[in-house]
Amino acid sequence: RAEDLADEVERIRAAMGSDIDVSLDCAGFSKTMSTALEATRPGGKVCLVGMGHNEMTLPLTAAAAREVDVGGVFRYKDTWPLCIDFLRSGKVDVKPLITHRFGFSQRDVEEAFEVSARGRDAIKVMFNL
């Protein structure tokens, strides 16, 4: 629903504290890609990482009107070292996006997937190993 998408976009923008220049969709669902397209600032970039669903329904007209670039990557050659450098240097702070943390017991894993599947309460779910 449009209201749910708007609420999710506002939560993400509030968590980031600024406009979102680049969004990475690492899940590959219509909902996550739509959220990335709507949350990214005009002139920003959205990247689908990995293999998403074969067909998706997306708000491409709105993204095109805001001149959001859309691309994708399937392989990770030389990506991880750059990402790790960004995290290590503080250029990218992902901590505001982590809304839930779980242990790694069977029960914790099941609860984490339930929270993630509900979607409304979670931006990113992390396991503490």
Structure confidence by residue, pLDDT tens digits, 27-56: 888 999 999 999 999 999 999 988 778 888
**Paired tokens of 48:** 């689908």
Instruction: Give this prediction's pTM.
Output: 0.60
Which CATH fold would you assign to the domain 2-91?
Rossmann fold (3.40.50)
Gap between the Cα atoms of 6 and 82, Å rounded: 31
In the chain, what are the domain boundaries?
2-91, 94-129
Cβ atoms within 10 Å of 84's Cβ, excluding its own: 10
- The CA-atom distances, in angstroms, between 3 and each of 8, 9, 10, 11, 35 are 9, 10, 11, 12, 12
* Angle separating helix axes 30-39 and 2-16, nearest 10 degrees: 60
Gap between the Cα atoms of 106 and 43, Å rounded: 43
Cβ atoms within 10 Å of 81's Cβ, excluding its own: 8
DSSP 8-state class, residue 9:
H
Tens digit of pLDDT at every position of the chain (129 positions): 677 888 888 989 888 888 899 999 988 889 999 999 999 999 999 999 887 788 888 989 989 999 999 998 876 667 778 888 988 999 989 889 899 999 988 899 889 988 888 877 888 899 988
